[in-house]
């Protein structure tokens, strides 16, 4: 493209030189008469012709080189223009195609020669034509680079998603307005964007699925734990039922044993004593007038038998229900019982209590007395202890009784679940305490003996209030 002006300048300069030389020759011919040309003139003229011929050949070579370069540049331009990966179009204000490259014609599916003067909007899908026409209007208005997307319908029925870039061209002189339009197939890009959008949607769904799976797994785990807890509660319920059955049997057996003992004592002791009294009275009847001294002696013996019978009856009454508990209170009843316990077993005992414990109602004081009675009986039978201490102290809303011995220990869980024990034992004590709304716990360790702790509320206080007091728990700490 740059060789054409240079070639024109050289041609003009060569023409000017030739004309100047021709004018000079004509001038010489007019000023001088014609003379016969000498051999020298002919030789000089021949030399000039040869020089001119060389100049013409040089000019011809330059023209040939310029033509070759022009053809090479034209070929490069044609290759760049026609085989570009996008379509190039020139359009007038009416939207008619003025020029188009081969790629543009291939995109539209029509030969290049058949596209000239056709409207590009005819290939745009009807639903996209308003957007495309607005795009052309803005491009011709010189509003800068314009971009739009539309669906192109080929004449063979195929379609693709196209992207348009348009800019207005600068007209030369009075030439009509036109604009350049670049068209490219973005179907693959759209499909890629759609695939990416679907992947994102799938990722979102996958995330939701993972969350749902995790939630369901958590629910399943919760259900499994609930089933396990239910099974544990069921097992505990069965165990408690077994304990209640065992307790009921033990209560019945204890009642029967107590009846047997009372019956045997009444038969063997009181009945014999009363029979002896009856025999003595019969003897006294016979000897009343015979031996006054012997009569007095027999009367004294009979009185002693009566006193012994009364003591035995009082002892039975105390074992069944100590009158001092109802008449004087819990502390005197415990003191009396522990005094007789020490005298009977040889185990030293010590009682510490606060006077306010007597504010408890009769059922609660009875429970504390029976627990202490049963605990001391177990110490005498099983612990082989030498010392036992009973203390009663005041809590926030309850009275706490602790019974500690220095005897041998035992496994608490085994003792609670033992079914062969013929006495009420620990299970009976716990049932008594819980019956009045209290808490019961046992701790036994080798070298430390056994301690029993009972918390009994003063009034109707929930068990959680006892726990708030800071010391009362269902299990010993």
3-state SS, 97-116, equals EEEECHHHHHHHCCCHHHHC
Shared domain for 452 and 372, answered yes or no, is yes
Shared domain for 178 and 224, answered yes or no, is no
Tally the residues of the chain: 477
Query: Which helix H or strand E contains 300, and what residues bound it?
Result: helix 292-320
Strands 439-445 and 449-457: antiparallel
User: Tens digits of per-residue pLDDT, 90-132?
Assistant: 989 888 999 999 888 988 988 888 989 999 999 999 999 999 9
Shared domain for 237 and 337, answered yes or no, is no
At 88, is the secondary structure helix, strand, or coil? strand
Shared domain for 96 and 73, answered yes or no, is no
Domain boundary pick from 153, 185, 217: 185
In a domain, 474, yes or no: no
Closest CA to 416 of 244, 252, 243, 254: 243
Total tally of structural domains belonging to the chain? 4
In a domain, 123, yes or no: yes
Query: Which DSSP symbol is given to 359?
Result: G
In a domain, 475, yes or no: no
In a domain, 156, yes or no: yes
What is the model's pLDDT at position 475?
43
Query: Which DSSP symbol is given to 175?
Result: P
What is the model's pLDDT at position 253?
64
Question: Which residues, 6+ apart, have CB-to-CB distance to 357 below 8 Å?
Answer: 330, 331, 365, 368, 392, 394, 399
- Give the separation between CA 247 and CA 81, rounded to whole angstroms: 107
- Give the separation between CA 443 and CA 258, rounded to whole angstroms: 29
CATH at 415: 3.30.565.10
Consecutive 10-residue averages of pLDDT for the chain (477 residues)? 51 66 61 59 80 80 84 76 85 90 89 90 92 90 87 89 89 79 91 91 92 92 90 86 72 64 67 70 65 67 73 66 80 91 92 92 90 90 90 92 90 65 68 89 88 88 44 40
In a domain, 25, yes or no: yes
Structure tokens at 422: 């013929």
Domain boundary pick from 163, 185, 207: 185
Strands 178-185 and 387-394: unpaired
- Give the separation between CA 477 and CA 466, rounded to whole angstroms: 15
CATH at 91: 3.30.450.20
In a domain, 290, yes or no: yes
- Give the separation between CA 476 and CA 430, rounded to whole angstroms: 13
What is the pTM assigned to this prediction?
0.43
What is the model's pLDDT at position 237?
85
In a domain, 358, yes or no: yes
Domain boundary pick from 266, 300, 320: 320
Query: Which helix H or strand E contains 456, and what residues bound it?
Result: strand 449-457
Contact 469, 457 (CB under 8 A): no
Shared domain for 102 and 143, answered yes or no, is yes
What is the model's pLDDT at position 314?
66
Q: Give the DSSP letter string of 124-172.
A: B-GGGHHHHHHHHHHHHTT-S-EEEEEEEE-TTS-EEEEEEEEEE----
Shared domain for 202 and 246, answered yes or no, is yes
Shared domain for 296 and 379, answered yes or no, is no
What is the model's pLDDT at position 477?
47
Q: Give the DSSP letter string of 377-440.
A: HHIIIII--SEEEEEEEE-SSEEEEEEEE-S----HHHHHH-S--SS-HHHHHHHHHHHTT-EE
* Alpha-carbon torsion, ordered 159, 161, 163, 169, to 10 deg: 20
User: Tens digits of per-residue pLDDT, 339-383?
Assistant: 989 998 999 999 999 999 999 998 899 899 989 988 998 899 888
What is the model's pLDDT at position 53?
78
* Alpha-carbon torsion, ordered 16, 18, 22, 28, to 10 deg: 90
Shared domain for 358 and 300, answered yes or no, is no
What is the model's pLDDT at position 452?
94
Domain region containing 438: 324-468
Shared domain for 456 and 373, answered yes or no, is yes
Radius of gyration for the chain, computed over Cα atoms and rounded to the nearest angstrom? 65
At 471, is the secondary structure helix, strand, or coil? coil
**Look-up of token digits 């314009």:** 146
What is the model's pLDDT at position 214?
93
What is the model's pLDDT at position 316?
66
In a domain, 477, yes or no: no
Shared domain for 141 and 219, answered yes or no, is no
Shared domain for 179 and 191, answered yes or no, is no
Shared domain for 303 and 175, answered yes or no, is no
């Amino acid at each position: 493209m740059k060789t054409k002006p240079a070639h024109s300048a050289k041609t003009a300069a060569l023409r000017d030189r030739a004309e100047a030389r021709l004018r000079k020759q004509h001038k010489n011919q007019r000023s001088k008469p014609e003379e016969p040309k000498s051999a020298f003139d002919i030789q000089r003229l021949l030399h000039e012709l040869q020089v001119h011929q060389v100049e013409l050949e040089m000019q011809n070579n330059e023209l040939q080189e310029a033509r070759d370069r022009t053809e090479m540049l034209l070929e490069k331009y044609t290759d760049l223009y026609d085989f570009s990966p996008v379509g190039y179009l020139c359009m007038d204000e009416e939207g008619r195609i003025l020029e188009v490259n081969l790629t543009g014609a291939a995109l539209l599916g029509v030969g290049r020669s058949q596209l000239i003067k056709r409207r590009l909007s005819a290939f745009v899908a009807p639903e996209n034509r308003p957007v495309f026409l607005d795009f052309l209007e803005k491009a011709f208005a010189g509003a800068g680079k314009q971009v739009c997307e539309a669906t192109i319908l080929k004449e063979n029925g195929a379609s693709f998603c196209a992207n348009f870039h348009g800019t207005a061209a600068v007209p030369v002189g009075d030439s009509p307005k036109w604009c350049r339009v670049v068209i490219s197939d973005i179907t693959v890009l759209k499909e890629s964007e759609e695939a990416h959008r679907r992947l994102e949607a799938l990722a979102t769904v996958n995330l939701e699925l993972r969350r749902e799976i995790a939630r369901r797994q958590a629910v399943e785990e919760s259900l499994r734990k609930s089933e396990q807890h239910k099974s544990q509660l069921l097992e505990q319920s069965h165990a408690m039922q077994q304990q209640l059955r065992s307790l009921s049997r033990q209560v019945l057996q204890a009642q029967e044993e107590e009846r047997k003992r009372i019956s045997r004592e009444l038969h063997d002791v009181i009945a014999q004593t009363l029979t002896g009294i009856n025999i003595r009275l019969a003897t006294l009847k016979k000897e009343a007038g015979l031996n006054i001294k012997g009569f007095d002696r027999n009367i004294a013996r009979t009185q002693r038998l009566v006193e012994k019978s009364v003591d035995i009856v009082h002892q039975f009454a105390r074992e069944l229900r100590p009158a001092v508990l109802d008449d004087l209170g819990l502390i005197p009843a415990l003191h009396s019982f522990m005094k007789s316990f020490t005298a009977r077993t040889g185990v030293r005992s010590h009682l510490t209590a606060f006077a306010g414990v007597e504010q408890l109602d009769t059922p609660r004081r009875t429970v504390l007395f029976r627990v202490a009675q049963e605990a001391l009986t177990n110490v005498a039978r099983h612990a082989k202890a030498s010392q036992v201490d009973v203390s009663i102290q005041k809590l926030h809303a309850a009275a706490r009784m602790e019974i500690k011995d220095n005897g041998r220990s035992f496994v608490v869980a085994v003792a609670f679940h033992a079914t062969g024990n013929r006495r009420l034992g620990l299970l009976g004590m716990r049932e008594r305490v819980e019956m009045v709304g209290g808490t019961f716990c046992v701790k036994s360790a080798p070298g430390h003996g056994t301690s029993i702790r009972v918390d009994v509320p003063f009034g109707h206080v929930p068990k959680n209030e006892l726990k708030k007091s800071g010391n009362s728990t269902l299990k010993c700490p």
